[in-house]
Amino acid sequence: MIIIRCDKKILSDNSEIETLKKTRAVNVKINVHKSINIQSTEIDPSITIPLEKTNNREQEYYRELQKAKDVHHEGVIRASELLKAVRKGHTFSLKVVKQVTIDIVESLLRNSDALLSLSQLKGHDDYTYVHSVNVAILITAFYKSFGYGSDKLVEAGMGGMLHDIGKMRIPEYILNKPGKLTDSEFSIIKRHPEYGIDAIDDKSGISDITRKVILQHHERYNGKGYPFGIKGERINEVGLVSAVADVYDALTSDRVYKSAWTPHKAIACI
Ligand SMILES: [Fe+2]
């Protein structure tokens, strides 16, 4: 697959390229030196970008890219360990979750484009684990744009890592069902934010911001979300941010019941 870096935008999907062709753009400049050959989420280490041909912002991006790749990879491993432990009823280390989140925040503070671009590369890794990391990245980047400092970003990012932890108490045949859920199955799914709060209840050092992400990431501004159907300003700011991050990553990923949407189609829907 060829990833085309176009200003701040990475085109990674043939349908995006087809859409670009249909626009009224007269000229599209593609710098092949800035394109990356990529297989799944693995970056080919043999490919080097000639830094002397890039501006400062691009240099920062490429310098951060390798570190960001390690942060993303480590995050997926830790998310996998965490969620598997909870599924088995085992305890888990909040310290590990916090360290992964600190690494995410530090990478985004050095250069947000690098880790954000990796969160958009959808490979064939297990969706549940990658989704936890991607939501943590998207929430943190979004929250950062509001001007919050690193402590608050870590609290919000930890919510992203933990947001679906309650799903580990839901039978896998419901979570992985390719067809439409029955009303009773959906009512079970709707409990997962509360199950998530239960799962962290015995942990100390979890902030209110982290809890709000876990509890409110399926609430909707119009009151049609769950588990409580609260609306408007009653939903915490970080709850709304996490809802957008969760939906965006889900829409742009392949699922058992649908193919991945392109980023522009997902944004138009949100
Ligand atoms: Fe969820």
Break the chain into its structural domains and give their ranges. 54-269
- Quote the ligand 1 centre to 214 CA distance (angstroms): 8
Q: In what order do the strands lie in the sheet containing 42-43? A: 9-11, 2-6, 36-39, 42-43
Provide the 10 A C-beta neighbour count for residue 158.
30
pLDDT of res. 177: 87
Among 55-69, 175-189, 228-242, the range scoring the smallest mean pLDDT is 55-69
Helix (H, G, I), strand (E, B) or coil at 227: coil
pLDDT band for position 26 (50/70/90)?
very low
- Quote the ligand 1 centre to 242 CA distance (angstroms): 10
Provide the 10 A C-beta neighbour count for residue 267.
13
Residue range 137-160: mean pLDDT, rounded: 97
What is the reported pTM? Answer: 0.80
pLDDT of res. 15: 62
- Quote the ligand 1 centre to 251 CA distance (angstroms): 13
pLDDT of res. 53: 59
Among 23-37, 50-64, 75-89, the range scoring the smallest mean pLDDT is 23-37
Q: Which residues pair with 36 in a beta bridge?
A: 3
Share of the chain above pLDDT 90, in %: 63
Domain 54-269 is found in CATH 1.10.3210.10: yes
- Quote the ligand 1 centre to 23 CA distance (angstroms): 35
Q: Which residues are catalytic?
A: 167
Nearest to 3 by CA among 50, 45, 40: 40
pLDDT of res. 38: 44
Nearest to 212 by CA among 228, 223, 189: 228
- pLDDT per position as a tens digit, 96-129: 999 999 999 999 999 999 999 999 887 666 888 9
Place of tokens 């941010």: 241
pLDDT of res. 7: 45
Cis peptide before 227 (omega within 30 of 0): yes
* The residue type at 169: R
